[in-house]
């Protein structure tokens, strides 16, 4: 699957399925190939769904370099149990101490992120922000663009984006992940989407906990900004 000239993001686990042969589950896991690295951003809620979808995607965990956990809720960490079987000793980047002991116990290597952390020349883990829970995101720089991966956006998606602007002195053009807007009003969805656009966001893939109202609002009012999602989908950038 690896092509060093492209960034590929494969949605391994999501609340919905893009392909009929992939299982859905309330949670999120993204497999990323970028700049000679392959890694996971979150691991979904269930080791069985995680494993079966990885197999359907022909993704071999023995080839991945590390895992980034956005926050320590079960719907983002459930697949760690399967990772211990396939990749004992793998580096796991976490935003706080709450799962450090468990990760060590199962034979993985936790690293707690305290501030903006450079993983490679173009891959960064953001400073964790308080939600609750404490949550971190991931930035991939692609030429003159920035891609922002978010887990659930518990600290608020506009707060996360503004923090990225503060850290990098520019807005991410692309957001992929959960926006945590499934239980807010359409008016609030409108306010948040409009604010993201005003900051400089050009494309939004509102998956996982973003909510159907959010997807419909962006798709209807900003079809050029809307990006689809679902387990089994590949995003190439």
CB 225 within 8 A of CB 196: no
pLDDT recorded at residue 142:
87
35 burial level (CB within 10 Å; 0-12, 13-18, 19+): middle
pLDDT recorded at residue 143:
80
CATH number for the domain spanning 158: value is 3.60.15.10
- Residue 67 to residues 85, 125, 206: CA-CA distances in angstroms? 14, 11, 21
Q: Return the sign of the alpha-carbon dihedral for residues 13, 86, 121, 112.
A: positive
pLDDT recorded at residue 1:
47
Residue with tokens 């991939």: 140
pLDDT recorded at residue 52:
98
pLDDT tens for each residue of 69-90: 999 999 999 999 999 999 999 9
pTM of the model: 0.96
- Pairing relation of β-strands 138-142 and 29-34? unpaired
- Please check whether residue 40 lies inside any domain of the structure: yes
Give the count of domains, the chain: 1
Helices of type H across 45-134: 47-56, 74-77, 80-86, 100-105
Residue range of the domain that includes 15: 8-236
Strands across the sheet containing 29-34:
109-112, 91-94, 66-68, 37-41, 29-34, 8-13, 234-236
pLDDT recorded at residue 4:
59
pLDDT recorded at residue 176:
98
pLDDT recorded at residue 189:
98
pLDDT recorded at residue 73:
96
- Please check whether residue 1 lies inside any domain of the structure: no
- Please check whether residue 48 lies inside any domain of the structure: yes
CB 124 within 8 A of CB 149: no
- Please check whether residue 51 lies inside any domain of the structure: yes
pLDDT in tens, the chain (237 residues): 455 568 999 999 999 999 999 999 999 999 999 999 999 999 999 999 999 999 999 999 999 999 999 999 999 999 999 999 999 999 999 999 988 999 999 999 999 999 999 999 999 999 999 999 999 999 999 887 899 999 999 999 999 999 999 999 999 999 999 999 999 999 999 999 999 999 999 999 999 999 999 999 999 999 999 999 999 999 999
pLDDT recorded at residue 5:
64
Nearest to 9 by CA among 1, 17, 118: 1
- Please check whether residue 76 lies inside any domain of the structure: yes
pLDDT tens for each residue of 12-30: 999 999 999 999 999 999 9
């Amino acid at each position: 699957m690896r092509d060093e000239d492209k960034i590929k993001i494969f949605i391994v686990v999501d609340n919905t399925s893009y392909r009929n042969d992939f299982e859905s589950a309330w949670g999120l896991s993204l497999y990323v190939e970028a700049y000679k690295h392959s890694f996971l951003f979150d691991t979904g809620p269930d080791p069985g769904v995680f494993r079966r979808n990885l197999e359907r995607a022909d993704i071999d965990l023995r080839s991945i370099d590390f895992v980034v956990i956005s926050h320590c809720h079960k719907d983002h960490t459930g697949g760690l149990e399967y990772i211990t079987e396939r990749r004992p000793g793998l580096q796991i980047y976490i935003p706080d101490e709450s799962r450090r002991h468990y990760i060590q116990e199962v034979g993985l290597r936790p690293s707690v992120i305290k501030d903006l952390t450079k993983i490679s020349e173009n891959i960064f883990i953001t400073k964790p922000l308080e939600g609750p829970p404490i949550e971190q995101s991931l930035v991939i720089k692609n030429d003159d663009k920035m891609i922002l991966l978010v887990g659930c956006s518990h600290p608020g998606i506009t707060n996360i984006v503004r923090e990225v602007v503060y850290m990098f002195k520019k807005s991410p053009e692309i957001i992929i992940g959960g926006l945590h807007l499934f239980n807010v009003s359409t008016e609030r969805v409108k306010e948040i989407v409009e604010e993201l656009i005003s900051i400089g966001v050009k494309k939004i893939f509102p998956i996982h906990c973003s909510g159907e109202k959010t997807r419909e609002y962006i798709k209807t009012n900003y079809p050029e900004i809307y990006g689809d999602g679902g387990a089994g989908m590949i995003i190439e950038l």
